[in-house]
């Protein structure tokens, strides 16, 4: 918008350089003293002389053209305002959505990191060790209840065998995992 006004001014300057305004024709002599006295005593005569200068007429025309161009640019600016405002609002909404998506992404990345930490070989080994120990304690409690007469022999055998099998299975998995960790650490960086 401002560049259009700058172009107009630049064009006017170029036009003045190409076609300089012609000077008012002057007679070879100066005005008579009587004419100068009349101009000095009567302002309207001086004003008429001043207003009849072609340079002034050209300046007035140029000024009117500039005013028209400025008014047209102002109207165009006003017409563009709703469009620009709607695009600005759309941009703000998209920025807000982007911010929300970034926050969600960061939370999911944090969750993924936590899950990958919990699924590491050393974490799995620790959980297997705890689970094997819990199964062993439960089988010991079942045996104590049987010895105290709180459990029937059929229930005891079923529950005890189930817990002991679970305990030994978890211990075997833990040992196998320990071997894998040891083998992996020999060839790769620590987990």
Query: What local confidence, expressed as pLDDT, does residue 191 receive?
Result: 47
Whether 19 maps to a domain, the answer reads no
Query: What local confidence, expressed as pLDDT, does residue 40 receive?
Result: 74
- How buried is residue 128: exposed, middle or buried, by Cβ count under 10 Å (0-12/13-18/19+)? buried
Query: What local confidence, expressed as pLDDT, does residue 169 receive?
Result: 92
How far apart, in Å, are the Cα atoms of 65 and each of 12, 20, 71, 120, 170? 10, 18, 10, 79, 94
Task: Please indicate, yes or no, whether residues 171 and 181 belong to a single structural domain of this protein.
Answer: yes
Whether 150 maps to a domain, the answer reads yes
**Tens of pLDDT, residues 151-167:** 888 988 899 999 999 99
Whether 127 maps to a domain, the answer reads yes
Task: Please indicate, yes or no, whether residues 126 and 93 belong to a single structural domain of this protein.
Answer: no
Mean pLDDT, rounded, for 34-45: 75
How many CB atoms lie under 10 A from the CB of residue 175?
13
Query: What local confidence, expressed as pLDDT, does residue 30 receive?
Result: 55
Residue 51 reports pLDDT greater than 50: yes
Whether 36 maps to a domain, the answer reads no
Task: Please indicate, yes or no, whether residues 85 and 137 belong to a single structural domain of this protein.
Answer: no
To the nearest whole percent, how much of the chain has pLDDT over 90?
36
- How buried is residue 135: exposed, middle or buried, by Cβ count under 10 Å (0-12/13-18/19+)? buried
Task: Please indicate, yes or no, whether residues 99 and 135 belong to a single structural domain of this protein.
Answer: no
Q: How far is CA 42 from the centre of its chain?
A: 71
Last-in-domain residue among 64, 89, 119: 119
Whether 17 maps to a domain, the answer reads no
User: What range defines the domain where residue 138 resides?
Assistant: 121-187
Whether 96 maps to a domain, the answer reads yes
Task: Please indicate, yes or no, whether residues 182 and 139 belong to a single structural domain of this protein.
Answer: yes
Mean pLDDT, rounded, for 185-190: 66
C-alpha span between 171 and 125 (Å, rounded): 10
**Tens of pLDDT, residues 53-99:** 888 888 889 999 999 999 999 999 999 999 999 999 999 999 999 99
pTM of this prediction?
0.39
Whether 28 maps to a domain, the answer reads no
Query: What local confidence, expressed as pLDDT, does residue 185 receive?
Result: 76
Q: Which tops the pLDDT comparison, 46 or 104?
A: 104
Mean pLDDT, rounded, for 20-39: 65
Considering 17-26, 58-67, 115-124, the range whose residues carry the highest mean pLDDT is 58-67
Helix (H, G, I), strand (E, B) or coil at 1: coil
Task: Please indicate, yes or no, whether residues 167 and 109 belong to a single structural domain of this protein.
Answer: no
- 191, 185 contact by CB (below 8 A): yes
Query: What local confidence, expressed as pLDDT, does residue 126 receive?
Result: 85
Domain total of the chain: 2
Residue 38 reports pLDDT greater than 90: no
Task: Please indicate, yes or no, whether residues 145 and 176 belong to a single structural domain of this protein.
Answer: yes
Last-in-domain residue among 87, 119, 151: 119
**Whole-number average pLDDT of the chain:** 84
Whether 54 maps to a domain, the answer reads no
Last-in-domain residue among 119, 139, 172: 119
């Amino acid at each position: 918008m401002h560049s259009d006004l700058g172009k107009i001014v630049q064009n006017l300057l170029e036009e003045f350089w190409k076609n300089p305004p012609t000077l008012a024709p002057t007679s070879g002599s100066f005005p008579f003293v009587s004419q100068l006295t009349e101009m000095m005593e009567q302002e309207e005569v001086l004003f008429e002389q001043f207003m009849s200068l072609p340079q002034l007429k050209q300046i007035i025309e140029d000024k009117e053209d500039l005013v028209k161009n400025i008014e047209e640019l102002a109207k165009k600016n006003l017409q563009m305002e709703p469009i620009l405002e709607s695009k600005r609002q759309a941009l703000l909404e998209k920025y807000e959505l982007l911010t929300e998506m970034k926050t969600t992404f960061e939370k999911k990345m944090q969750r993924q990191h936590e899950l990958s930490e919990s699924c590491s070989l050393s974490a799995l080994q620790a959980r297997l060790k705890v689970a094997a120990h819990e199964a062993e304690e439960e089988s010991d409690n079942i045996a104590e209840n049987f010895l105290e007469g709180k459990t029937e022999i059929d229930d005891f055998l079923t529950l005890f065998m189930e817990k002991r099998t679970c305990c030994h299975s978890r211990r075997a998995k833990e040992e196998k995992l320990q071997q894998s960790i040891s083998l992996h650490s020999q060839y790769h960086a620590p987990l």
